[in-house]
Amino acid sequence: MSTEREIPIPPEVLDCYSKYRPTPIFRVKKFEELIGTDCEIYVKDEGTTPSNNHKANSAYLIAYLCKKDKVKTLTTETTGNWGVALAKAARYFELETICFIDAESNRFRPDRKALMEKAGAKVIVVEQDDNHNDLLSLSADAAIQYTRTLKDATYIFGSVYGYFVIPQTIIGLEIKEQLQEQGKYPDIVVGSCGGGANFLGTAAVFIMDHLESAKQVEFFSAEATSCPILTQGKSGLYSIDSQGYYPMIKTYGIEGLLNDGQYIGGLGSTIIAPAVAHYHSKGIIKAKTFTPEEAQKASNLFRETEGKKVALETGYQLAAVIEKAKSNSKKIIVVNISSGRDSTYSID
């Protein structure tokens, strides 16, 4: 909820970050060639964090703050990736974690439960019920109900809210410095939105520049056809849970996922970070939906050219990168792929 322009990173958390940051950035020339573009595409790789995605950046801060508040157990919902990040961070700060994963994600990402357990978490699989139209609020509600039966426990939602989004902004700050070293500055920032933390983490510093200086930057978010949170979301007051646990926030929301039978993992959030909704309503962030086939095709192209297997969520942003690279000339495009290889980094 802070309105401060900058928030110092607590030294204990900086210790964690300094073991795996800065994450690399690289230009994907072969990918550019195959697309047939004269744009330069730079990829920031948050796949090198201890959780293999951007989630670790929030997890260490959250676990640290909970430890300071004498919380003993953290509970959360996950479609797989966030639970691994929180479990690792909680273990680092000597806290217990209980992760709630929906049965569909557990089927789709069969290795995740074992990874969370290996990091010391207890994992509870939640079966679909008739009251939920999306997987994240299904597990969030189950986790909150369970948390209310525990002592010294707190439930943490893994995206959307300030405590989660703000630590991600380190990604964009690093990108800016890394590109500056090469005398470059992005023309187009691409991302995909689940709750919006990944997108804002990459884009926030450039949105600030865009608002405060003459820098003309385009911000483009990819979303899945079954979760058109930006293109069809309605402005209003929303919470991620129906248990009265989280406060209502003014943002965009959708009733539920449009059921096209496609699994979209962490992109299936029915509310979005308020800042994304705000800048979208002002026309600063643009969004477009992409089909699972387009996302898969983009992932395959990236794998063929760069040798990296990316997460399902990343495929959507790569589809958006391809679209921007084809419709522009000589622009600098940046994207955070937030996945891509087995982490070689472990900080504990």
Ligand X SMILES: Cc1ncc(COP(=O)(O)O)c(C=O)c1O
Applying CB under 6 A, the residues found at the interface with ligand X are 53, 79, 81-82, 159, 192-199, 265-267, 269, 311, 313-314, 338-339
- By beta-carbon proximity to ligand X, the closer residue of 215 and 303 is 303
User: Which amino acid type is present at position 322?
Assistant: I
C-beta of 54: minimal distance to ligand X in Å? Answer: 6
- By beta-carbon proximity to ligand X, the closer residue of 41 and 267 is 267
How distant is the alpha carbon of residue 211 from its chain centre?
A: 23
- By beta-carbon proximity to ligand X, the closer residue of 54 and 324 is 54
- By beta-carbon proximity to ligand X, the closer residue of 123 and 267 is 267
One DSSP character per residue, 18-39 reads: HHH-SPPEEE-HHHHHHHT--S
CA nearest neighbour of 157 among 59, 67, 283: 59
Token pair for 191: 């991302």
C-beta of 53: minimal distance to ligand X in Å? Answer: 4
DSSP state of 291: -
State the CB neighbour count (10 A cutoff) for residue 259: 9
C-beta of 131: minimal distance to ligand X in Å? Answer: 22
C-beta of 36: minimal distance to ligand X in Å? Answer: 26
HSE at residue 295, side-chain half, CA atoms within 13 A, is 26
C-beta of 334: minimal distance to ligand X in Å? Answer: 15
Q: Which residue has the tokens 């330069």?
A: 40
Q: List 97's β-bridge partners, or say none.
A: 74
- By beta-carbon proximity to ligand X, the closer residue of 253 and 265 is 265
- By beta-carbon proximity to ligand X, the closer residue of 79 and 239 is 79
Taking the C-alpha atoms of residue 72 and residue 227, their distance in angstroms, rounded to an integer, is 35
Residue nearest to ligand X (CB): 266
C-beta of 184: minimal distance to ligand X in Å? Answer: 24
